[in-house]
């Protein structure tokens, strides 16, 4: 079961790879620049926003960044896989 502690570890790895602040990641995930700070202070988030956050991070994971090994990574969304395959189809 994924928890907010797992999310914060993934956020830390994402921030390091992208060199962005908690506030920026918070705005991207929650449309609220303060939510990650609140999570770090012991706040919580519902199960749907938690799952959506993991999915967003997986879908937008930076090349060369290392997802924390002890946190299961959701597969990239099928819509993104299809969109990335289309340019190849057009080239052939």
Q: Name the H helices within 1-92.
A: 4-18, 22-30, 35-40, 47-59, 78-91
Q: What is the per-residue pLDDT across 26-48, written as a single tens digit (0 to 9) for each?
A: 999 999 999 999 999 999 999 99
Of 31, 69, 71, 32, the closest CA to residue 54 belongs to 71
Give the whole-number percent of the chain exceeding pLDDT 90. Answer: 83
Indicate whether this model's pTM tops 0.75: yes
Distance CA 38, CA 40 (A): 5
Higher pLDDT, 79 or 77: 77
| Domains in the chain: boundaries | 4-91
């Amino acid at each position: 079961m994924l928890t907010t502690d797992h999310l914060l570890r993934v956020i830390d790895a994402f921030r390091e790879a992208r060199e962005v602040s908690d506030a920026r990641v918070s705005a991207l995930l929650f449309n609220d620049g303060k939510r990650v700070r609140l999570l770090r202070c012991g706040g919580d988030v519902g199960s749907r926003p938690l799952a959506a956050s993991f999915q967003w991070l997986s879908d937008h994971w930076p090349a060369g960044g290392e997802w924390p090994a002890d946190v299961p990574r959701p597969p990239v969304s099928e819509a993104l896989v299809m969109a990335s395959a289309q340019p190849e189809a057009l080239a052939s």
